[in-house]
Structure 1
Amino acid sequence: MVKKKRFSAAELRVYDAALRLYAEKGSYDITVSELASAAGVARGTVYKHLESPKQLFNSVATRLASEMDERIAASNSEIDSPAARLATGIRLYIRRAHENPHWGRFLIHFGLTAESLRELWTGPPSEDIQAAVEAGEFNLDLNAIPSAVALLGGATLTGILLVLDGLKTWREAGIESAELTLRAFGLDAQQAKKIANSPLTELKEIK
C-alpha cells in the first residue's frame, strides 16, 4: 500500500496560493515571486516545497483531482445506486465551488483542458456510468461512455459557472444539473427528479 503524502502547513499555503493565482489569472503562467507574495512566504520557501516550479500547475491539478476523488468516494461509500452516486458527485462539486470560489474558477478555466485534471472525469464518474448502464439505470451503449463522461463534465462545470456568476444558487444548480444529466443518460424522469432532490450528504474530509 502506497503511503499517502502529508503536506506541511507551509506547503499547503504554497499550493493554495498557486490554485488561487491560477484561478484569478486563468493562465498557466505564474512566477515564483507572485506565488511567494500570495502565500506570504519567502521565495526560498517556495523552492523548498516545490519539486520543480515548471511542474507547479501539474502538481496543483493532480493534488486537487486526487483529493476530490477521495472525498467524493468517502461521501458516496454508503450509496448503492451508481446513478445516485453520480448525482451526489455533481452536487458536491457545485456546492464546494460555492464554498470555495477560487477552487471553482480553477476548474472552470482548466477542468476540460488540463490533462492533470482528467482523473476528475475518467476515474470514479466513468466507473459509475458504466455500473449504472450494467445495472439498467442508464440507457446507454457502453461505447458511448466517453461521450457521456464529456457531457457530465460539461454539465458540472456549467453548473459551477452559473453559481459563481450569481445566476443560480448552489442548491438549484446542483439539483438541476444532476437531474438533467440523469435524464440525458436515460433514467426515468420521475426517478431522476427523486434522486436529484434527495438529501445531500456532507463532503467528507480525508485524514
Structure 2
Amino acid sequence: MPGTPNSRAPRQRTQKLPAQAQATEGRQPRGTRRKRETRTRLLDAALRLMAERGTDFVAINDITEAADVGFGSFYNHFESKEGIFAALVEWVFEEFADTLDHLASGLSDPAEVVAVSVRHTLMRARREPVWGQLLIREGFSVHALSWGLGQRLLRDSQRGISAKRFVAPDQFMCIVSVTGIIFAAIAAELHFAASVTPAIQRQKVSGLGEQNFAERAATVVLQALGLKLAEAERIAQLPLPTGKPGVKVYRAKPRVR
C-alpha cells in the first residue's frame, strides 16, 4: 500500500466536485470557496490515512497534519473523527453506489445489474487504488451492510431471489459469500496493478492475472448466486451500459435455466 503522503506536498484530489458545483464554485465568495477547499483537503487526507492504517489507527491530528490544516479548523467542519468518517463514507461510497444505480437503471435482469456493479467496482478500484484499499479495510466492518454499496447488494439479491433468477437458500450467507468474493477480487486487482515482480508478470502472461479480471470476478459472483457457468459468463461479457441520461439499455431476455 502507498505510504502516507507528505503533508506539505501538493496532491491530486481523489474525488472531483460534480459538474454543476464546479460551474458555480467560481462565482461563490472567496470565504465559501476556501471553506469548501479545506473540507475537501480534510476528507482527502482522511481517505488516504484510513485506507492505509484503518479507522482505529488514525487520529484527528494525523488528518490535519496530512491536510496541512490547523487542528482547530477541523472542528469547523466535523464534530469528531466519527463525524469525518461518516462524511467520508457518504463522499466516497454513497456517491459511487448512486452511480451504479444510474448505470444499471435501464436493465431489467437482476443478474445483469449485479454483473455491471461488480465490474464497475473492480474497474474503479484499479483506477483509484486508495478508494479500493478503503473499501477493503472498511467493507468487513459492522457498518458495511448499512452503506450504499451494501444496501444495494442486499436489494439486488432480494430482487433476483424474488424473480427466481437467483437461487439462495440462505440469503444472508449468500451475501456474505458474494461480498467476500468481491473484496478478495479487489485485493487481487490492486496486487496485480501494483506489482512488477517477474512472478506476477508471468501470471499475467499465463492468464492467471488481470486479463478480463472484472468479467471473471462477475462470473464467479453470479455463480455464487445460483447461475450456471455458461449463463454467468455470457452476462459478465455483455457490453457495459453507458449510463447516459435518457438512454435505456435493452437486452435479450434471460435464458431459461
CA shift digits 1:115-152 (9 cap, x unpaired): 156424541211111211222221223xx221121112
2:217 counterpart of 1:177: yes
1:12–1:117 CA distance, 2 compared to 1 (3 A): farther
Q: Distance in 2 between matches of 1:192 and 1:65?
A: 26
Amino acid of the residue matched to residue 174 of structure 1?
Answer: A
Does the 8 Å CA contact 1:23/1:103 hold for their aligned counterparts?
yes
Deviations 1:1-56 (A, max 9, x none): xxxxx892321221121011011113423222221222232223322111223433
Give the number of the structure with larger relative contact order, counting CA–CA contacts within 8 Å between residues 6 or more apart: 1
Deviation at 1:75, TM superposition (A): 1.3
Query: For residues 198 and 99 of structure 1, what CA distance do their matches in structure 2 show?
Result: 21
Counterpart of 2:237 (choices 197, 203, 206) is 197
Runs of 5+ unmatched residues, structure 1: 1-5
Given residue 177 of structure 1, which amino acid in structure 2 is its aligned partner? A
Give, in whole Å, the separation in 1 of the partners of 2:243 and 2:176.
Answer: 23
Mapped pair 1:97 → 2:125 = yes
Out of 106, 113, 130, which is 2:134 matched to? 106
Instruction: Name the residue aligned to 1:146.
Output: 172
Q: 2:89 aligns with which of 49, 53, 61?
A: 61
Q: Which runs of 4+ in 1 moved over 4 A?
A: none
Counterpart residue number, 2:158: 130
CA distance in 2, matches of 1:28, 1:60: 15
Q: What SS does the corresponding residue of 2:69 show, helix, strand or coil?
A: coil
| Aligned pairs for 1:112-123 within 5 A | 112-115=140-143, 118-120=146-148, 122-123=150-151
Letter in 2 for 1:20: R
Kindly indicate whether the alpha-carbon contact (under 8 Å) linking 1:138 and 1:185 is maintained by their aligned counterparts in 2. Answer: yes
AA aligned to 2:129 is P
RMSD of aligned C-alpha atoms?
2.4
| Alignment partner, residue 157 of structure 1 | 183
Name the CA distance, whole Å, in 2 between partners of 1:75 and 1:136.
23
Greater radius of gyration (CA)? 2
Aligned residue pairs total 196
CA distance in 2, matches of 1:34, 1:122: 29
Aligned AA (1:160): I
TM-score w.r.t. length of structure 1: 0.83
